[in-house]
Structure formats: C-alpha cells, structure tokens
Amino acid sequence: MSASETATTDAGGDEGGWSAVADLPPSAKLVAKVLEYNDTLTQSQLADETMLPSRTVRYALSRLEEVGVVSSRFSFADARKRIYTLEIE
C-alpha cells in the first residue's frame, strides 16, 4: 500500500466526522474546535469561549447536532442547562 492510498483510507474513515463539519458555517466550525479542546461545555460557556452571541452558538450547536458530531445531555448540577460534547475522535 502506497502513502497516497494510506492517506485516502484514513480520510475516508472519518466520513461522519470533520468532513461533515467542513460544509458547515464558520461559527459551527469554531464551536466544534472549542469543544475539541474542552471535553464538555454549556451553551453559555461556549458563548464565552468563542465570543459569539448566544443565538449564533445555539444555531451552530443545532447544525452540529444535525450532522451527528455533537451530543447533548442535561446537566446534573442544573437541569435547565444542557452539556455539549464533541463526538469526533
């Protein structure tokens, strides 16, 4: 197997991952990158980290959830908040 075949195989194995994020708006890419460096964050923490308005973060998270790269769950500390996690390795 040549080096170019190896690169193609590796890129093809990440079909639902970063390749799905590549087609999303810049705000969604930024939110995904911030989640990559932080395990779990709430929407307000993401807004603080990215310096984006809450509405933009909410839109970015919904787009990321649509393509299946972000998961959310309710916070045990405060049930009014959701915790977001990146699902890309």
Instruction: Name the pLDDT band for 15 (thresholds 50, 70, 90).
Output: low
Which range marks the domain in which residue 41 is found? 3-86
User: Using one digit for the tens of pLDDT, what is the confidence trace for 48-66?
Assistant: 999 999 999 999 999 999 9
Mean pLDDT of 7-16: 45
In the chain, the number of structural domains is 1
Q: At what angle do helices 54-66 and 43-50 cross, to 10 degrees?
A: 110
Q: What is the CATH number of the domain that holds 74?
A: 1.10.10.10
pLDDT tens digit string along 25-46?
A: 999 999 999 999 998 999 999 9
Cα(81)–Cα(67) distance, integer angstroms: 22
